[in-house]
């Protein structure tokens, strides 16, 4: 299908004169800064906090561009990838007229963001074994479908979708395909970031909240063609990544090797946890996972959930989610945490 970015963008966004912040009008070095109504006397906490942060997070993007082999203008940083999801709606979806397509069960924020932005969510459920249903997807797409969300590895099912299938969707869909790779670092599959030069309708989301262990910093990443990233930058709040968050990411880059080690540890713990869970008779099925969590099916999800809560262990009850009846989603913990979980399950 022919892709034309100009035709997808909302009229008000095309006409928008973006806010021009003090720090984007002057980004050189001066001795005295009296341009941004900051507190010239400093902050009670630290050196940098009385100044507004870099609106375009230049340093962080420079590092990401080298690590991921993309240009800095192909990167957007958001206040979590949740901000990038919300901006996609605000850039592309006309309230009360456009729609988006999701493949449930999947990450809940796509539908919530759609509802907040008064955009209809269409659904093409996964098959019973959690594969993409191409016929259902095709049936749901119409002339007003602007975004197609594919979460791979998928939350809450944990599985990745085959690369070829995702590429097929990107090739055939005339809107934007959003591939959410929040859990990609734990996966056997390769990221699709390398495809953003080939497909102008591809937006890949990643996050520092999972493998990087920085959920509290709230930083997510969108990779896309430069013209799409330029739209994100026009619509985003001027200083959307705080100075402490930017510093946290830069410090984390310095400990890059540790991140790789942690990912390997989590993956190894995941495999051990799966093996031990399979010995527990109350667990009827353990779904294949490529993420840092495991979805398990039980005959008594709510009872087990409540019992674990009494044991001061909280897992996620997904039993009321489409196709997930009886399912609990369990995040892979430290070896000690996983042991405690298994001990509690055996006690039940």
Contact pick of 137, 182, 304, 315 for ligand PLP (by CB under 6 A): 182
Where residue 12 falls (left for φ over 0; alpha for ψ -120 to 50; beta otherwise) is alpha
Nearest residue to 338 via CA among 292, 270, 260: 270
Q: Under the criterion CB under 6 A, does residue 64 sit at the interface with ligand PLP?
A: no
Nearer to ligand PLP, 215 or 309 (CB): 215
Residues between 127 and 166 with contacts to ligand PLP, criterion CB under 6 A:
151, 155
11-18's contacts with Cβ under 8 Å and 24+ in sequence apart are 11/94, 13/90, 13/91, 13/231, 13/234, 13/235, 16/234, 16/235, 18/233, 18/234, 18/235
Across the beta sheet with 327-331, what order do the strands follow? 283-286, 293-298, 327-331, 316-317
Least separation in angstroms between CB 152 and ligand PLP: 9
Residue nearest to ligand PLP (CB): 80
Total number of residues that touch ligand PLP (CB under 6 A):
12
Contacts to ligand PLP from residues 225-254, by CB under 6 A: none
Query: Shortest distance, CB of residue 257 to ligand PLP, whole angstroms?
Result: 23
What gap in Å lies between CA 155 and CA 112, rounded to an integer? 15
Position 81 contacts ligand PLP (CB under 6 A): yes
For the CB of residue 82, give the shortest distance to ligand PLP in the complex, in Å. 4
> Binding of ligand PLP at residue 82 (CB under 6 A)?
yes
CB of 300 to ligand PLP, least distance (A): 26
Interacting span for ligand PLP (CB under 6 A) from 13-21, 44-52, 80-88, 163-171 = 80-88
Please select the residue that binds ligand PLP; options are 55, 80, 105, 158, rule is CB under 6 A.
80
Long-range contacts of 8-11 (CB under 8 A, 24+ apart): 8/92, 8/146, 8/175, 8/176, 9/91, 9/92, 9/231, 10/90, 10/91, 10/92, 10/93, 10/94, 11/94
> Which of residues 117 and 345 has its CB atom nearest to ligand PLP in the complex?
117
Residues of span 207-226 touching ligand PLP by CB under 6 A:
207, 209, 215, 220
**Do 153 and 266 meet the contact criterion of CB atoms below 8 Å apart?**
no
CB of 80 to ligand PLP, least distance (A): 3
Among 98, 180, 290, 317, binds ligand PLP (CB under 6 A): 180
Q: Quote the CA–CA distance of 134 and 103 in Å, as a whole number.
A: 10
Give min distance, CB of 33 to ligand PLP, in A: 31
Please list, in sequence order, all residues whose beta carbon lies within 8 angstroms of the beta carbon of residue 244, skipping any fewer than 6 positions away.
49, 217
Stretch near ligand PLP under the rule CB under 6 A, chosen from 6-14, 77-85, 242-250, 252-260 = 77-85
Chain residues in the site for ligand PLP (CB under 6 A): 80-82, 107, 151, 155, 180, 182, 207, 209, 215, 220
């Amino acid at each position: 299908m022919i892709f034309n970015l100009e035709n997808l963008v909302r009229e008000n966004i095309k006409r928008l004169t973006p806010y021009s912040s003090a720090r984007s009008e002057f980004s050189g070095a001066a001795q005295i800064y009296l341009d941004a109504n900051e507190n010239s006397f400093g902050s009670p906490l630290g050196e940098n906090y009385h100044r507004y942060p870099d609106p375009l997070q230049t340093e962080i993007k420079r590092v990401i561009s080298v690590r991921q082999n993309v240009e800095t203008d192909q990167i957007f940083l958001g206040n979590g990838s949740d901000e990038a999801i919300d901006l996609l709606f605000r850039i592309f979806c006309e309230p009360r007229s456009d729609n988006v397509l999701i493949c449930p069960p999947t990450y809940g924020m796509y539908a919530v963001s759609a509802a907040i932005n008064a955009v209809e969510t269409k659904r093409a459920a996964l098959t019973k074994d959690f594969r993409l249903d191409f016929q259902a997807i095709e049936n749901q797409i119409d002339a007003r479908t602007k975004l197609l969300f594919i979460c791979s590895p998928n939350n809450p099912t944990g599985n990745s979708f085959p690369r070829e299938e995702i590429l097929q969707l990107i090739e055939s869909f005339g809107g934007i395909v959003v591939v959410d790779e929040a859990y990609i670092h734990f996966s056997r599959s390769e990221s699709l970031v390398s495809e953003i030069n080939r497909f102008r309708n591809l937006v890949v989301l990643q996050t520092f909240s999972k493998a990087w262990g920085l959920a509290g910093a709230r930083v997510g990443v969108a990779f896309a063609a430069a013209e799409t990233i330029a739209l994100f930058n026009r619509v985003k709040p001027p200083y959307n990544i705080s100075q402490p968050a930017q510093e946290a990411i830069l410090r984390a880059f310095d400990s890059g090797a540790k991140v790789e080690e942690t990912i390997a540890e989590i993956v190894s713990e995941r495999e051990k946890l799966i093996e031990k869970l399979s010995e527990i008779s109350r667990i009827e099925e353990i779904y294949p996972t490529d993420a840092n969590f495991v979805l398990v099916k039980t005959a008594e999800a709510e009872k087990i959930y409540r019992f674990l809560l009494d044991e001061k262990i909280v897992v996620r009850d997904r039993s009321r989610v489409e196709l997930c009846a009886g399912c609990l989603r369990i995040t892979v913990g430290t070896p000690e945490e996983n042991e405690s979980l298994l001990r509690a399950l055996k006690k039940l």
